[in-house]
Amino acid sequence: MSSKTMLQQALTRFFDAAKHLNIDPTILEKWEFPLETTHARLTIRMDDGSLKSFRAWRSRNDDTRGPTKGGIRYHQSVTADEVETLAFLMTIKCAVVNLPFGGGKGGVQIDPLSLSKTELERLSRRYVQIFSKVIGPNRDIPAPDVNTNAMIMAWMSNEYDSIVGEVTPAVITGKPISLGGSLGRD
């Protein structure tokens, strides 16, 4: 088993491939680390009245091509390394298909099946409350990923609108069509 992190392994493969292309070394150098990764604790009230905290992250890999974009995953084994690696890979995917975005990714260390629907909503809204200064339509655009869906994106979008005081449909993708979502997203 390799002692390298998931991100180091992905970067090694990328740098090996880059040797066959004419890529400016300064571009390669800046991808060694994410632009930023925000770590947070999401504390919510559970249905039984207790408080419970969950680890959460949002990583922005590179915004050279435009705002960062990427999903939010809810999974009990998600880590900062995984989130940073997936943000890096999203940067590559957007560049390969010539989209005007950089890569981002988020995660919450939780088994969403262990939460009631109201607890899941509280957690989703809390994610946006904590990361509202990091996300935005011109900065970082979250989307659904593992164990997140249109309903969760709708709660997140609604929470962001409440925080900024206006309807901002471009802040989050993967919402229901009735709330500004796109056909074919599912």
Closest CA to 88 of 67, 108, 68, 74: 68
| From 105, 117, 133, 175, active-site residue | 105
Contact between residue 169 and residue 179 where contact means Cβ atoms under 8 Å apart: yes
Contact between residue 58 and residue 67 where contact means Cβ atoms under 8 Å apart: no
Is 69 considered catalytic here?
A: no
Positions marked active-site: 105
